Structure 1
């Protein structure tokens, strides 16, 4: 009688996908050890250099990876002898020839040492992920503005957790983790996220992207796939410079 009852129970367990390991505590270390798949080996860069699997977008030698956002012609910004590039006023934004989705981005920037103007007109530029979502670049040293538009903000959406800029004229670093939003049948089904580390300080902690980052109006969510990395010419003689730009694709 006992055997007749136990057989259906064992069959039910077998076909339900249930396993003993889900309820029984492991008794050996090997039961909780996983050996595959093995993560790929990446050699870190030294002193800010890109790691071995990075895509180098700007190394200071040319604009070969960049075009004008206006008309896809050659980038017209200034290439400097120190291995940096500087916004050339009123020539327009520039963007990468290559499109990306989710990325880890390293980029270095500086505002001019000679302070001119104030508010949003001082050392203003921006890093646009997917060509759409702006991480603000601005000289905020002794220069107050609206906090969701200050340096390190996700423009008009998220104020930074801290203002971590170095003195005007010195080089800042942004290390950004961007996960692109997901769209299905023209509708957003998962929001994108951005994490920003500014000069080693966490200033955006996996914040949700609400949509586009317009100067006027609410965020919008047009469906999109991969897009370029875009750098802004704010059109106010901002003279912002960039150097050492690389990405690692996350998908």
Structure 2
């Protein structure tokens, strides 16, 4: 009997601290929706139409005052009827302003009745930060090497699909670009990436750009800072590509 009493008493001694602990630490209050909500800071209001209210308009249909040639002289491409067109032999043009991360919109048109095949058919290019080329080309029923067709990161990554409209119709590019960052040795800490939609269809999905986009050779990593948006005068006789409605949002 004495041994049983001892066991019972021991059990009571053990239970007492547990009961005391339960009283000291009550159950947490039930979660409410407000516990996971915050209200500040509110995002800025941006009105979307016809151009986002926080965008920089790079071409308003009137002149090329936002652009220059590669030597810093005035851009010489032809402005007419709210669009501008490549003027063969005058060289590439680029924005006077330089950019890092951005959202870019532009519209471009291959002329109706264009001749030629493969790369000799309405060839131009859009250079992000003046360095990394997104190809512009007429690939409507016109095959070429896939990492050189419209919407490719030139000589690197083909587009997911061919979303070309036929010559004479306008194409749109909508681009989200993240600029690279660099280590002290000049290599990428984070590489540049690009998402590209043509005519509302995804062509590049947060694609890594491996380096420069040369016609001959392989990509190279070259340290740089902010850079312009550049459009290419490819020099082809069949090339009178036109552009309109160009705007950019810095991110």
Calculate the TM-score normalised by the size of structure 2: 0.87
Cα distance change of structure 1 residues 216 and 25 upon mapping to structure 2, 3 Å threshold: farther
Structure 1 residues 56-205: aligned runs within 5 Å:
56-69=57-70, 71-80=71-80, 82-185=81-184, 186-205=186-205
The alignment covers a number of residue pairs equal to 227
Contact 1:92 1:232 (8 Å CA) reproduced: yes
Q: RMSD in angstroms over aligned alpha carbons?
A: 1.9
Residue in 2 that maps onto 1:13: none
Q: Which structure 2 residue ranges, 5 or more long, are not aligned?
A: 1-16, 22-27
CA shift digits 1:147-187 (9 cap, x unpaired): 01001111111111111111111100000000001113223
SS at match of 2:119: helix
Residue in 2 that maps onto 1:41: 45
The CA deviation at 1:141 is 1.1
Calculate the TM-score normalised by the size of structure 1: 0.87
The CA deviation at 1:25 is 10
Larger radius of gyration: 2
| Aligned mates of 2:204, 2:126 — CA distance in 1 | 14
Q: Which structure 1 residue ranges, 5 or more long, are not aligned?
A: 7-23
The CA deviation at 1:26 is 6.7
